[in-house]
Amino acid sequence: MKTVRILVSGRVQGVGFRAFAVREARELGLDGWVRNLPDGRVEAVARGEDDAIEVFAAALRRGPLTARVDEVTVAETEETVPAGFMQRG
């Protein structure tokens, strides 16, 4: 199991990006959360099997058709995550 923090920058807010991320994460059986940051990026913290994390990160790079993802940064973290996957404020 690996826990990662994924930061997505670009024009991804207001286009259902968080809902898209939650759907993808739940389908992959990941735990964690996703939220908008004040600087305009989207942050996701996810825990799961390595291959599921890779598929999740690839999905966030694609984004929904209306998103314009500029950059996705993935870094391992020691953060504790809740069971299931949710949106945060």
**pLDDT given for residue 67 in this prediction:** 86
Question: For residue 12, is it within any domain?
Answer: yes
What is the count of structural domains for the chain?
1
User: Catalytic residue numbers?
Assistant: 18, 36
Rounded to an integer, what distance in angstroms lies between the CA atom of residue 76 and that of residue 78? 7
Question: For residue 8, is it within any domain?
Answer: yes
**pLDDT given for residue 9 in this prediction:** 92
Question: For residue 9, is it within any domain?
Answer: yes
pTM over 0.95: no
- Which tokens go with 46? 């996810």
Model confidence pLDDT, tens digit, residues 17-47: 999 999 999 999 999 999 999 988 999 999 9
- Residue 64 has, within 13 A of its CA and on its CB side, a CA count of 16
Q: Is the pLDDT of residue 15 over 90?
A: no
Q: Is 17 left (phi over 0), alpha (psi -120 to 50) or beta?
A: alpha
Q: Mark 25-40 as b/e (b = at least 16 C-beta within 10 Å).
A: beebebbbbbebeeee
Question: For residue 89, is it within any domain?
Answer: no
Question: For residue 17, is it within any domain?
Answer: yes
**pLDDT given for residue 60 in this prediction:** 93
The CATH number that applies at residue 63 is 3.30.70.100
